[in-house]
């Protein structure tokens, strides 16, 4: 019999994170009987989500114990698993500053989420708070397993690896769903459950290195390569797979599954293939979606207060595309399940990338955690591109951990979207003044 777990959601009031994660948990039979702890620093949002979750739990037969708290110490006490998706500050206001200020100074900044000069400042806002969370985990529940949904996930996880030895964690991202959910089955005329994907690289910069039939073990990469370009004719999507993805595929021979609007952050020529107007429109779409979920939550909370909440509920039997809960289930029941994309320390998985790096790869999950599928040496053409971003991440994390202004400017200057130390210094000075409230005290 599986022991009931204590699962803590940090940032539970988030419209982009809280509801879908709760849907995943309440759909789980393995985790039935567990305690779900909702934690957020925004009292109004936390109470709104809590009230709805309590009602949904009641409709579902009270299979879980639901708690809420504004205090992280209280939330983490005796936790088994923590899922974290926080954003330090106003997510979309600051993201637009990350994008527009570097461009004002001449940078070819694109998405400004995980890469580019703007990605540095996103990292500098996020990493210190995640380290504080990691330190609290080691203090109040040292055996717990942390799942990081927050971006920039590679840099956050690298900072956790370097600063908190012994912390058990994984970073997760659903970008592989672009390929598996919308294209791969149609291209190869197979259900996705019949195929085993082997991935490798960095978050938002990962490549499909292996593809085989689960039942026969047959290599499907030759068929993928034979059909890929013809299949995508007429299906190019300016927000996902378009000019940059296929130029990179043509030049390296390997498919990057992250999509144009993410991989453009990491390449010198990214801005030649990706339009900034599309990137800004994508940010608008994300913000609009976030507002829609908040509106949805407010609507059903008002109906709950008025005694008019739907009798069958609104959250049951709906699941997200996130993999946090399946991973918790796999660890809990020791299933040795296969995960297509996890972000974990390299530790010999990819030999020709730095070992002190957090990579995105495929892996198996059991009670001992997550074990990456060894790739050995990946193709040199791909490894060379990844090492550029790996070096930038190295300096980025070091600058933030040491609160070093000189290292911060050096990191900005070496980025593929920046052209000089003078530009880097101008970007640093304006962004530091503008976002001072959320940044380390760089000296």
How far is the C-alpha of 237 from the C-alpha of 234, rounded, in Å?
9
Give the pLDDT confidence score for residue 402 in this predicted structure: 98
> What residues are paired with 343 via a beta bridge?
171, 360
Burial readout 180-190 (b: 16 or more C-beta within 10 A, e: otherwise) = beebbeebbeb
How far is the C-alpha of 299 from the C-alpha of 429, rounded, in Å?
43
Give the pLDDT confidence score for residue 318 in this predicted structure: 65
> What residues are paired with 211 via a beta bridge?
197
Give the pLDDT confidence score for residue 98 in this predicted structure: 98
Give the pLDDT confidence score for residue 1 in this predicted structure: 61
Q: Give the mean pLDDT of the chain.
A: 95
Q: Identify the CA nearest to 212 among candidates 228, 232, 190, 181.
A: 190
Give the pLDDT confidence score for residue 239 in this predicted structure: 87
Beta strands in 107-236 (DSSP E): 145-148, 168-171, 195-202, 205-213
Give the pLDDT confidence score for residue 271 in this predicted structure: 93
Rounded to two decimals, the pTM is 0.96
What size, in residues, is the chain?
A: 443
Give the pLDDT confidence score for residue 320 in this predicted structure: 77
Give the pLDDT confidence score for residue 317 in this predicted structure: 63
DSSP run (H or E) holding 247: helix 243-252
Give the pLDDT confidence score for residue 288 in this predicted structure: 94
Give the pLDDT confidence score for residue 418 in this predicted structure: 96
Q: CATH number of the domain at 1-443, please?
A: 3.90.1820.10
SS3 349: coil
Question: How many distinct helices (H) and strands (E) make up the chain?
Answer: 17, 12
Instruction: Report the DSSP pairing between strands 205-213 and 81-84.
Output: unpaired
Residue range 302-313, pLDDT digits in tens: 999 999 999 999
Spell out the per-residue pLDDT of the chain, length 443, in tens.
677 999 999 999 877 677 778 788 888 889 999 999 999 999 999 999 999 999 999 998 999 999 999 999 999 999 999 999 999 999 999 999 999 999 999 999 999 999 999 999 999 999 999 999 999 999 999 999 999 999 999 999 999 999 999 999 999 999 999 999 999 999 999 999 999 999 999 999 999 999 999 989 999 999 999 999 999 999 999 889 999 999 999 999 999 999 999 999 999 999 999 999 999 999 999 999 889 989 999 999 999 999 999 999 987 666 777 899 999 999 999 999 999 999 999 999 999 999 999 999 999 999 999 999 999 999 999 999 999 999 999 999 999 999 999 999 999 999 999 999 999 999 999 999 999 999 999 99
Give the pLDDT confidence score for residue 316 in this predicted structure: 61
Q: Which residues are catalytic?
A: 174
Can you give the residue ranges of every domain in the chain? 1-443
Residues 6+ apart with CB under 8 A from 18: 9, 11, 12, 38, 40, 49
DSSP letter assigned to residue 259 = -
Find out whether 82 and 76 touch, Cβ atoms under 8 Å.
Answer: yes
């Amino acid at each position: 019999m599986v022991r009931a777990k204590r699962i803590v959601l940090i940032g539970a009031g988030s419209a982009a994170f809280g509801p879908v994660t709760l849907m995943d948990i309440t759909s789980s039979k393995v985790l039935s009987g567990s305690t779900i702890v909702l934690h957020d620093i925004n009292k109004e949002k936390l109470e709104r989500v809590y009230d709805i979750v309590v009602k949904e739990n009641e409709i579902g037969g009270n299979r879980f114990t639901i708690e809420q708290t504004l205090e992280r110490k209280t939330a983490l006490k005796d936790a088994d698993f923590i899922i974290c998706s926080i954003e330090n500050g106003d997510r979309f206001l600051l993201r637009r500053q990350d994008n527009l200020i570097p461009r004002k100074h001449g940078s070819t900044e694109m998405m400004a989420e995980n890469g580019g000069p703007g990605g540095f400042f996103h990292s500098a806002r996020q990493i210190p708070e995640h380290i504080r969370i990691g330190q609290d985990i080691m203090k109040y529940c040292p055996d717990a397993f942390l799942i990081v949904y927050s971006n920039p996930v590679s840099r956050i996880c690298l900072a956790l690896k370097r600063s908190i030895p012994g912390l058990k964690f994984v970073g997760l991202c659903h970008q592989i769903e672009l390929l598996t959910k919308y294209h791969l089955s149609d291209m190869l005329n197979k259900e996705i459950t019949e195929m085993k994907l082997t991935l490798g690289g960095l978050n938002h910069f990962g490549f499909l290195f292996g593809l085989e039939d689960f039942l026969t073990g047959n290599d499907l990469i030759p068929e993928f390569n034979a059909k890929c370009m013809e299949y995508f004719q007429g299906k190019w999507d300016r927000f996902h797979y378009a000019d940059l993805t296929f130029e990179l595929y043509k030049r390296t021979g390997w498919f990057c599954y992250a999509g144009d609007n993410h991989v453009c952050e990491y390449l010198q020529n990214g801005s030649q293939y990706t339009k900034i107007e599309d990137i800004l429109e994508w940010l608008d779409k994300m913000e609009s979606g976030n507002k829609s979920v908040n509106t949805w939550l407010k609507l059903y909370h008002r109906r709950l207060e008025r005694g008019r909440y739907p009798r069958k509920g609104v959250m049951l039997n709906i699941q997200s595309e996130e993999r946090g809960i399946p991973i918790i289930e796999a660890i809990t029941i020791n299933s040795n399940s296969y995960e297509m994309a996890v972000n974990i320390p390299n530790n010999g998985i990819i030999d020709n990338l730095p070992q002190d790096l957090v990579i995105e790869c495929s892996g198996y999950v059991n009670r001992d955690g997550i074990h990456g599928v060894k790739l050995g040496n990946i193709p040199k053409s791909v490894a060379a591109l990844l090492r550029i971003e790996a070096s930038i991440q190295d300096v980025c994390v070091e600058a933030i951990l040491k609160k070093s202004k000189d290292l911060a400017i050096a990191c900005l200057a070496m980025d593929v979207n920046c052209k000089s130390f003078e530009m880097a210094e101008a970007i640093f000075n304006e962004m530091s003044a503008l976002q001072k409230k959320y940044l380390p005290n760089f000296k």
